[in-house]
Amino acid sequence: MKKLLTLVGGFFSGIANGLLGAGGGMIAVPALRRAGLSTVESHATSVAVILPLCALSAGIYLARGDVTLHDALPYLPWMIAGSLLGAKILPRLSSTVLRRMFGVLMLWAAWRMFAA
């Protein structure tokens, strides 16, 4: 069952990431939790898995001309800083706090999608 969950979760995470731009984590984290990883391990593994998917998607978008590096450059320093801070804070958070933060993020994302 864990292998099937891994296959299905990975497949749909990849689809969500390609369509929504890193939205695959919202599928990967719950799938990894159900596969037996702790909350912190699930979030960290999701980030590690999503990185190559994001690189692949970005390469496709760049090749098609949907985005240029010039468009992305102003955001990169701030995103790198945020990523460093988030990775440093992640192990210090309890599983309960992390799950609640993730849930709030999912609700906020849903609200933004429906309100747009």
* Predicted TM-score (pTM) of this structure: 0.62
Mean pLDDT calculated for residue range 90-96:
87
- CA torsion sign, 62 to 67 to 71 to 73? negative
State the total domains in the chain. 1
* Unique residue bearing structure tokens 């590096």: 69
Gap between the Cα atoms of 103 and 43, Å rounded: 13
pLDDT score at 81 = 93
Cβ 52 vs Cβ 22: under 8 Å: no
Q: How confident is the model at residue 65 (pLDDT cuts 50, 70, 90)?
A: very high
Gap between the Cα atoms of 30 and 47, Å rounded: 13
Range of the domain at 37: 2-115
Which residues make Cβ contacts (< 8 Å) with residue 95, sequence separation at least 6?
38, 39, 40
